[in-house]
Amino acid sequence: MYKAPLKDLRFVMHNLLGDDQLAGLPGLEEYSPDFTDSVLEEAGKFAEEVLQPINRVGDTRGAKWTAEGVVMPPEFKDAYAQFAAGGWAQLRASPEHGGQGAPTMLGTAVEELWASANLAFKLCPMLSQSAVEAIERCGTPQQKETYLPKMISGEWTGTMVLTEPQAGSDLAAIRTRAVREGDHYRLHGSKIFITYGDHDLTSNTIHLVLGRVEGAPAGVKGISLFIVPKVLVKADGSLGERNDVRCVSIEHKLGIHGSPTCVLSFGDKQGAVAYLVGEENRGLEYMFIMMNAARLSVGLEGYALAERSYQHALAYARTRVQGRPGGKSGPAEGKPLPIAYHQDIKRMLLTMKGYADAARAIALYAALQLDLGRRHTDESMRAAAQSRGDLLIPIVKGWSTEMGLLATSLGVQIHGGMGFIEETGAAQYYRDVRITTIYEGTTGIQAGDLIGRKVGRDAGAAMNALIADMLSDLDSLKGTPIGAAAIDAVRKLREATQDLLDAHRRGPEQPQAVAVPYLLLCGFAIGGWLMAKSDDLTRKNVTNDAEFNRSKQQIARAYVEHILPQAQAYAAVVKSGSTSIVDADPALF
């Protein structure tokens, strides 16, 4: 049974990162850590009581395609209705249109709970939130008035419609055609991999679609963003005719079976009615505005499933009695013991939790930077926080999801043979998490963004500023084993950053060949910093909870001894790993 890790979240937000600095900022006048606590408590209940129990229903029964549209399991319809009624769709949306305007940091904390409890469900509000953000930031006043209130209340959902068969990571290849027709456009094209592209949870779905206006320039500079409602909205706000868009099929996937992944066909008949968002040919730019939020939200899925998988494995390890570990540890000398007392099981459990805790801390730190970047009263502070947030996003997305793969695999392993049996449930996390390193930009795409736009473009300024802050923060801990190990890892990151910048000067190929290893190194090292800091805080008893402190200290130590050595390995790869890749001839593979 999943329990929302509220203590962990409170510790990270209040003690480790200090969310009180958000209180009173413009737009966050009402914010307080106490408010966060009450929201988290309610969200935790909803996750545990409503979303968790139907996670396996989503997996086993899943979404079903019919000629009339995608049919969701009734349990999902019911849960969605409760979700909307509870106001959860509003949390992060702007108050102008009925949202609660919660900071990104709190939104991130809450979304972890949805993702842990039921990843397939979580994707629906996540995509809606992205669509809301697109309209909030780039829509006309009339578009905002028409769509936002019902999307923010949860009465309607939204989607992001980007991918085409020939245009996956490379959006320049998009072909969907838009033809001007008075105040709107007619859209024709086929889109794939559209999450919640069709469903029966709500009466309408607002698609945000990338397409190309006839006569637009080739490549990314000719892409526009359109609003395409599934059902057209009349002037009085009521629903009119069905638009010319339909779900042709849904994918049969490795995981997240409860989330329909749709092939959408636009304009089979007269063309789908589409409304331009912002200006023509600036669609990709608008899309990138939302990308940070979406990538952060997928990043958290990595540790959300690590946490869920950890809790599942721990519960099993505490009850499965099997053999006796050597040595003296544990009660009842000589008798078989729960496997939680076996050293190798302890190693796996601590490693899983180490991944989850470090990734959560990094993600919430990144979210805090985005909030400060948007809200801080000081312009230079805003700029610094925004650039740090931007720097961290690909690391959160890439590292956290890659660690999610490792953690959920350990979760299966701890169950032994039972882990391979679907009814046990451990395998579902292993399957579900597998998409997280792929959608919203693969780990390779994140790493390219990191070394190009985030580290290369400013010649390492934002990264070196972060490194300097981490080292100064860790200076007082240099006498402790954990502090020393964290400092060592951050220094390796500093050297690797220099290596990478040097390689940049020799052209783009060499850094590309070690971009993912560099991204992973970033995650391990930044995680080391935050785990060392968290260890230090528990030693100073900031929580006033001795048991929690000791628990966190165990995990920090395991992180440093069992996970952080990976920083060495990846630093070595960054240092000398590019030529073996660049020189390799694909014809000889």
Amino acid type, 361:
A
The answer to the question of residue 250 lying near a second copy (CB under 8 A) is: no
The answer to the question of residue 362 lying near a second copy (CB under 8 A) is: no
* Residue 230: C-alpha distances to residues 209, 246, 279 (Å): 12, 8, 22
CB count in 10 Å sphere of residue 330 = 14
The answer to the question of residue 349 lying near a second copy (CB under 8 A) is: yes
The structure tokens 């702007």 sit at: 94
List binders of a second copy among 448-467 (CB under 8 A): 448
The answer to the question of residue 583 lying near a second copy (CB under 8 A) is: yes
The answer to the question of residue 353 lying near a second copy (CB under 8 A) is: yes
The answer to the question of residue 509 lying near a second copy (CB under 8 A) is: yes
Rounded CA-CA distance 565/586 in Å is 32
The answer to the question of residue 38 lying near a second copy (CB under 8 A) is: no
Task: Report the phi/psi class of residue 227: left, alpha or beta, with left for phi > 0 and alpha for psi in -120 to 50.
Answer: beta
Q: Residue 86: is it exposed, middle or buried by C-beta count within 10 angstroms (0-12/13-18/19+)?
A: middle
Q: Residue 437 CB, nearest distance to a second copy (Å)?
A: 6
Question: Binding segment for a second copy among 2-10, 19-27, 209-217, 349-357 (CB under 8 A)?
Answer: 349-357
Q: Mark whether 241 is an active-site residue.
A: no
Question: Binding segment for a second copy among 93-101, 152-160, 238-246, 346-354 (CB under 8 A)?
Answer: 346-354
The answer to the question of residue 317 lying near a second copy (CB under 8 A) is: yes
Query: What's 240's DSSP letter?
Result: E
Q: Pick the binder of a second copy from 119, 272, 395, 427 (CB under 8 A).
A: 427
Q: Pick the binder of a second copy from 117, 393, 516, 522 (CB under 8 A).
A: 516
List binders of a second copy among 371-410 (CB under 8 A): 405, 409
Phi and psi at residue 403, to the nearest 5°: -70, -30
The answer to the question of residue 306 lying near a second copy (CB under 8 A) is: no
The answer to the question of residue 217 lying near a second copy (CB under 8 A) is: no
Nearer to a second copy, 72 or 482 (CB): 482
Question: Binding segment for a second copy among 61-69, 181-189, 283-291, 550-558 (CB under 8 A)?
Answer: 550-558
Nearer to a second copy, 229 or 255 (CB): 255
The answer to the question of residue 502 lying near a second copy (CB under 8 A) is: no
Q: Pick the binder of a second copy from 81, 145, 507, 540 (CB under 8 A).
A: 507
Q: Residue 61 CB, nearest distance to a second copy (Å)?
A: 14
Tokens of 20: 């009180």
List binders of a second copy among 517-536 (CB under 8 A): 517
Query: What's 564's DSSP letter?
Result: T
The answer to the question of residue 344 lying near a second copy (CB under 8 A) is: yes
Give the list of residues 6+ apart from residue 474 with CB closer than 8 angstroms, or none: 483, 486, 487, 490, 529, 532, 533
Nearer to a second copy, 217 or 507 (CB): 507
Q: Residue 337 CB, nearest distance to a second copy (Å)?
A: 9
The answer to the question of residue 541 lying near a second copy (CB under 8 A) is: no
Q: Where are the beta strands (DSSP E) in 6-156?
A: 64-66, 69-71
Rounded CA-CA distance 393/368 in Å is 12
Rounded CA-CA distance 132/110 in Å is 18
Nearer to a second copy, 33 or 338 (CB): 338
The answer to the question of residue 190 lying near a second copy (CB under 8 A) is: no
Task: Report the phi/psi class of residue 258: left, alpha or beta, with left for phi > 0 and alpha for psi in -120 to 50.
Answer: alpha
Q: Pick the binder of a second copy from 27, 86, 101, 325 (CB under 8 A).
A: 325
List binders of a second copy among 144-163 (CB under 8 A): 163
The answer to the question of residue 264 lying near a second copy (CB under 8 A) is: no
Q: Residue 171 CB, nearest distance to a second copy (Å)?
A: 9
Length of the chain: 589
The answer to the question of residue 554 lying near a second copy (CB under 8 A) is: yes
The answer to the question of residue 288 lying near a second copy (CB under 8 A) is: no
List binders of a second copy among 162-181 (CB under 8 A): 163, 166, 168-170, 172-173
The answer to the question of residue 355 lying near a second copy (CB under 8 A) is: no
Give the list of residues 6+ apart from residue 569 with CB closer than 8 angstroms, or none: none
- Would you say 48 and 3 are in contact if contact means Cβ atoms under 8 Å apart? yes
The answer to the question of residue 513 lying near a second copy (CB under 8 A) is: yes
The answer to the question of residue 543 lying near a second copy (CB under 8 A) is: no
Task: Tell me how many degrees the CA angle 323-325-329 measures, rounded to the nearest 5.
Answer: 130
Distance of alpha carbon 150 from its chain centroid, rounded?
A: 25
Nearer to a second copy, 50 or 519 (CB): 519
Nearer to a second copy, 246 or 434 (CB): 434
Rounded CA-CA distance 270/497 in Å is 54
Q: Residue 382: is it exposed, middle or buried by C-beta count within 10 angstroms (0-12/13-18/19+)?
A: middle
Distance of alpha carbon 255 from its chain centroid, rounded?
A: 16
The answer to the question of residue 193 lying near a second copy (CB under 8 A) is: yes
Pick the catalytic residue from 42, 440, 509, 547: 440
Distance of alpha carbon 538 from its chain centroid, rounded?
A: 27
The answer to the question of residue 219 lying near a second copy (CB under 8 A) is: no
Q: Residue 266 CB, nearest distance to a second copy (Å)?
A: 19
Q: Residue 453 CB, nearest distance to a second copy (Å)?
A: 13
H, E, C per residue of 440-482: CCCHHHHHHHHHHHHHHCCCCHHHHHHHHHHHHHHHHHCCCHH
Q: Pick the binder of a second copy from 99, 419, 460, 523 (CB under 8 A).
A: 419
The answer to the question of residue 32 lying near a second copy (CB under 8 A) is: no
Give the list of residues 6+ apart from residue 552 with CB closer than 8 angstroms, or none: 11, 357, 534, 535, 538
Q: Residue 487 CB, nearest distance to a second copy (Å)?
A: 15
The answer to the question of residue 314 lying near a second copy (CB under 8 A) is: yes
Rounded CA-CA distance 313/307 in Å is 10
The answer to the question of residue 582 lying near a second copy (CB under 8 A) is: yes
Give the list of residues 6+ apart from residue 56 with CB closer than 8 angstroms, or none: 425, 428
Q: Which of the residues are catalytic?
A: 440
